[in-house]
Amino acid sequence: MKHRTITIDPVTRVEGRGKITIWLDGRGDVKDAHFSVFDLRMFEKFLEGRPVEEAPQIVTRICGICPVSHHLASAKACDMLFDVEPAETGSLIRELMHMGQYIHNHSLHFFFLAGPDFLVKGREQGLLALIREKPELAEKAIQLRKVGQEIVEKTGGRAIHPVTALPGGVTKKMSKKEVDEIAADLSSVEKDLRELVNACKEGLLDKKELMLELDSQRSYYSALLNNGDFDLYNGKIRIIKPDGQIAEEFNPNNYQTQIGEHVEPWTYLKFPFYKKAEWPDGAYRVGPLARLNVAERIPTPEANREFTEFKDEFGKPVHNTLLYNWARLIELYYALERAKEIVEHEKTAANDVRHSFKIKKGEGIGVIEAPRGTLIHHYVANDEGIIERANLIAATTQNNMHINQSVRDVAKRRIKSGRIDERVLNDIEVVVRAYDPCLSCSTHMSGQTNLEVEILNEHGEHLKALTN
Amino acid sequence: MKLRIAVEGLGACAGCEIAILDLHEELVSLLQDLEIDYAPILIDRKSLKENVDVLLLSGSVRNEHDAEEAVRLSEKAKITIALGSCASFGGIPGLANLYATRELLERVYLTTESTDNKEKILPSEEVPPIEKIIKPLKDWVKITYDLPGCPPQPKLIKEMFQMLLNGKPVTLSKKTVCDECDLKREEKKITRILRWGEGELESGRCLLEQGYFCAGPATRAGCEAKCLAVLMPCRGCMGPPENVTDQGAKMVSAIASVAAIDEKSGVDPEQLATMFKDVVGSLYRFTLPSSIISRRVSEGKKR
């Protein structure tokens, strides 16, 4: 047995483009593995020279799945830069848009992309298999996601790449009629949500052994938190240690003192880390699992009940990567409940949607919990309000180190002494999908990701290809 | 017989693919007539082996891998559709053409505020090399039809599928966004150009006539003027209207026609031009790579 290389290209049912390479040593055991991301578009550079109030309109194009996150983080950075407090109703409308996005994103991820691994036989056909094998479930999932996208359209003007957020609030007030329609839509899917989540939990529990065994990473976790409460829109960043102890809690505006980004030559995706713990030990995870590990309580009743059940079942902090999927379902409850609270709020249909601002020199940092984790936008503008420097740290980037680690660990489990367990492809993809990686976002760059394994000898010559 | 399709995003944001999914239950009905042979974001097939009727190609070619993929896939398709404005015109990522590759990479990997890269590593191993400039997909492969929009509205995607299923050519609206916009025009002349969000927004009235830059007159209809309906001026994502190559040039003439130039109390055109910040990023936000001057051509001072 010579040194061999295994390549998985492309990884399917995730968003973005990249490949996985696994190197075997002379004994045929896994020596190393890389998840290399191909995408790059370099928004940080071409934002320079643009009027900063236009940034919320430009950065949406970083990601077509979670454009709302970029739109709002950008608007928040503009608020700070122009020193304008967003209008109360404007903030409510922004947060409602955000909840709409969560309903869409988390439904998309579970029912359309990752869920088929747990819910159907013909899982490689993804959503198409769900439609064929479980049409009623598919119909409900499609309706749930539709409600999410319609909320984004009503609040943001368009479901994909919304446009209403600007410094100081949003452009347009919501009519009572629009708010009532959203309330009715939310009520119409409430029962379905429970049914859908229960079906998903069953699907996951059927594979409980795999879920608990396949991959576990004792990592740091980081998320926004509002006085200890789970929050997706506002708060401080808390980082916890692998044992659950608080390592740091800081105002997001100080992110630069706490977070650094490491660069490797083999991927376009950078590697953020918690500076005090240094690279690579300080690499942390973000996203649904991290948010639940960091939070003490979820401030809406159903989600909090699910959260308590989750903690009773799996402990805290939870390190099993596949439980990202479960955590996402709990967040779906929160998104629906929080959206409901907002539409019931007396100020949501009020006129006070926007405060005026003056163009000036400044620096602004906007932070939000995107579906995949904490998202940071940071702009510096000159006297004319033109962007001189822009820095972006997207959610998936912060999981980069551990996605790599997970791939390596699963490969080690399934490839021994040159014997490649056929499950390796499947298992690697299942673990990567649990992170719901968005490679467009993470490299502010481009995307789509599929998985294919190629085995090469020590001279880089093709020996065998594995595809599913 | 079902129409066999392949869906692939190159350097892109996946918004075009989500726009297809945003047909929601209508997509389920459409699937009775469509066979999805390849769509990495949705199904696990790792490569496209057999030929398909239609390839929906979104995004732009940012690296060599994208270029190879575009060629390889389009060779297997009878009809290739450039889905979305990145594919049709270069899109927002095309603004990177304002900078040299070296400048782009140095900013992202060496100098951003949070980067910690003392060894000054630029990614170059195991990753496909970058293409120096973004070009519209038609410069890489034969494109049968463009379906612009950022992303194309689901309604347009549905109409596209219907035209394809009926064996008809894919056609687009010949109108402009102004034709679809409900805001009222009063033939008023402007004496200044306001920054977006400056001052009070008057609802119900044409935003261009209020002094805000709006690309509506130079942009193809089809989006139902959704941005204008929520009081956000058009940024031109549908690209230029029928028979117009250069969207920015068309926009300049539209601004000239509403500007109070040469009138008694009017403004000096030079002065008006200085009020207009970021000419390239406004006039060519989605179409720089397909415009007459598609990139920065010298190291000179950029506007």
Q: Where are the domains of chain A?
A: 4-39+397-466, 85-216+319-349, 220-318
CA dist., res. A24 & res. A386, Å (int): 51
Is A445 in contact with B11 (CB distance < 8 Å)? Answer: yes
Asked whether the beta carbons of residue B116 and residue A262 sit closer than 8 angstroms, the reply is: yes
Closest CA to A7 of A25, A21, A17: A21
Distance from the Cα of B238 to chain A's closest Cα (Å) equals 13
CA dist., res. B238 & res. B151, Å (int): 9
Contacts of A429 in chain B (CB under 8 A): 44
**Of A49, A264, A384, which is closest to B302 when you measure between CB atoms?**
A49
- Record the tokens describing residue B16, joined without a space: 């075009």
Smallest CA–CA distance from A67 into chain B, residue: B15
On whether any CB of chain A is under 8 Å from the CB of B298, the answer is no
Across chain B, what does the average pLDDT equal?
92
| A87 secondary structure, DSSP code | P
pLDDT in tens, B85-111: 999 999 999 999 999 988 888 998 998
User: Looking at the structure, do residues B59 and B177 belong to the same domain, yes or no?
Assistant: no
On whether any CB of chain A is under 8 Å from the CB of B122, the answer is yes
Smallest CA–CA distance from A7 into chain B, residue: B126
User: Looking at the structure, do residues B35 and B75 belong to the same domain, yes or no?
Assistant: yes
User: What are the 10-residue block averages of pLDDT along chain A, 468 residues in total?
Assistant: 66 73 85 81 92 98 95 98 98 98 95 86 86 93 97 98 98 96 97 93 90 93 96 98 97 96 89 95 97 98 97 96 95 98 97 95 98 97 97 92 93 86 82 81 41 48 47
> What is the total count of domains within chain B?
2
Q: Residues 176 to 205 of B: which have CB under 8 A from any A CB? A: 195-201, 203
Asked whether the beta carbons of residue B44 and residue A131 sit closer than 8 angstroms, the reply is: no
Asked whether the beta carbons of residue B232 and residue A467 sit closer than 8 angstroms, the reply is: no
Considering only residues B179 and A456, tell me which one the structure prediction assigns the higher pLDDT.
B179
Quote the pLDDT of residue A457.
44
On whether any CB of chain A is under 8 Å from the CB of B29, the answer is no
User: Looking at the structure, do residues B281 and B219 belong to the same domain, yes or no?
Assistant: yes
| Structural domain ending residue among the three candidates B125, B148, B165 | B165
Contacts of B13 in chain A (CB under 8 A): 61-65, 67, 440, 446-447
Quote the pLDDT of residue A454.
52
| Structural domain ending residue among the three candidates B165, B182, B211 | B165
User: Looking at the structure, do residues B147 and B25 belong to the same domain, yes or no?
Assistant: yes
**Of A42, A51, A265, which is closest to B96 when you measure between CB atoms?**
A42
Q: Mutate which of A448, A450, A453, A456 to disrupt the B interface (most B C-beta within 10 Å)?
A: A448
In A265-275, which positions are buried (b, 16+ CB within 10 angstroms) versus exposed (e)?
ebbbbbbbbbb
Is A360 in contact with A385 (CB distance < 8 Å)? Answer: yes
Give the CATH architecture of domain A85-216+319-349: Orthogonal Bundle (1.10)
| A320 secondary structure, DSSP code | B
HSE (side-chain half, CA atoms, 13 Å) at A429: 35
Contacts of A446 in chain B (CB under 8 A): 9-13, 59-60, 62, 66, 93
Angle between helices A88-107 and A135-156 (to 10 degrees): 160
Is A109 in contact with B21 (CB distance < 8 Å)? Answer: no
Contacts of B14 in chain A (CB under 8 A): 15-16, 63-65, 438, 440, 447-448
Element (H, E) at B143: none
pLDDT in tens, B13-47: 999 999 999 999 999 999 999 999 998 888 877 77
| pLDDT of B222 strictly over 90 | yes
- Record the tokens describing residue A83, joined without a space: 């020193």
Q: Mutate which of A32, A37, A45 to disrupt the B interface (most B C-beta within 10 Å)?
A: A45
Asked whether the beta carbons of residue A448 and residue B104 sit closer than 8 angstroms, the reply is: no
User: Looking at the structure, do residues B264 and B152 belong to the same domain, yes or no?
Assistant: no
User: Looking at the structure, do residues B158 and B213 belong to the same domain, yes or no?
Assistant: no
Which CATH number do you get for residue B11? 3.40.50.700
| pLDDT of B202 strictly over 50 | yes
* Residue A124 CB contacts under 8 Å (≥ 6 apart), including other chains: A468, B43, B44, B45
Antiparallel, parallel or unpaired: β B34-38 and B3-9: parallel
User: Does B292 reside within a domain?
Assistant: yes
Smallest CA–CA distance from A174 into chain B, residue: B230
Asked whether the beta carbons of residue B98 and residue A67 sit closer than 8 angstroms, the reply is: no
User: Does B101 reside within a domain?
Assistant: no
Quote the pLDDT of residue A441.
57
Asked whether the beta carbons of residue B62 and residue A125 sit closer than 8 angstroms, the reply is: no
Asked whether the beta carbons of residue A67 and residue B116 sit closer than 8 angstroms, the reply is: no
pLDDT in tens, B129-149: 889 999 999 999 999 999 999
Contacts of A272 in chain B (CB under 8 A): 114
User: Looking at the structure, do residues B49 and B191 belong to the same domain, yes or no?
Assistant: no
User: Looking at the structure, do residues B156 and B230 belong to the same domain, yes or no?
Assistant: no
Quote the pLDDT of residue A3.
61
CA dist., res. B24 & res. B30, Å (int): 10
Distance from the Cα of A419 to chain B's closest Cα (Å) equals 23
Distance from the Cα of B59 to chain A's closest Cα (Å) equals 8
Q: Mutate which of A15, A32, A39, A150 to disrupt the B interface (most B C-beta within 10 Å)?
A: A39
Q: How far is CA A365 from CA A98, A102, B112, B145, in A?
A: 18, 22, 14, 41
Asked whether the beta carbons of residue B112 and residue A261 sit closer than 8 angstroms, the reply is: yes
Contacts of A367 in chain B (CB under 8 A): none
On whether any CB of chain A is under 8 Å from the CB of B264, the answer is no
User: Looking at the structure, do residues B279 and B211 belong to the same domain, yes or no?
Assistant: yes
B209 phi, psi to nearest 5 deg: -70, -15
How much is the CA Rg of chain B, to the nearest whole Å?
21
User: Looking at the structure, do residues B150 and B220 belong to the same domain, yes or no?
Assistant: no
- Record the tokens describing residue B11, joined without a space: 């350097």
Q: Which domain holds residue B34?
A: 3-93+133-165
Contacts of A38 in chain B (CB under 8 A): 63, 65, 127-128
Can you say whether the dihedral through the CA atoms of B23, B24, B28, B29 is positive or negative?
negative
| pLDDT of B225 strictly over 60 | yes
Least confident of A380-389, B6-15, B117-126, B259-268: B259-268
Q: Mutate which of B56, B113, B133, B283 to disrupt the A interface (most A C-beta within 10 Å)?
A: B113
**Of B18, B62, B150, which is closest to A61 when you measure between CB atoms?**
B150
CA dist., res. A104 & res. A110, Å (int): 10
User: Looking at the structure, do residues B228 and B289 belong to the same domain, yes or no?
Assistant: yes
Considering only residues B303 and A296, tell me which one the structure prediction assigns the higher pLDDT.
A296
A420 phi, psi to nearest 5 deg: -100, 110
User: Looking at the structure, do residues B154 and B177 belong to the same domain, yes or no?
Assistant: no
Quote the pLDDT of residue A25.
83
Asked whether the beta carbons of residue B115 and residue A270 sit closer than 8 angstroms, the reply is: yes
Q: Residues 205 to 234 of B: which have CB under 8 A from any A CB? A: 226-227, 229-232
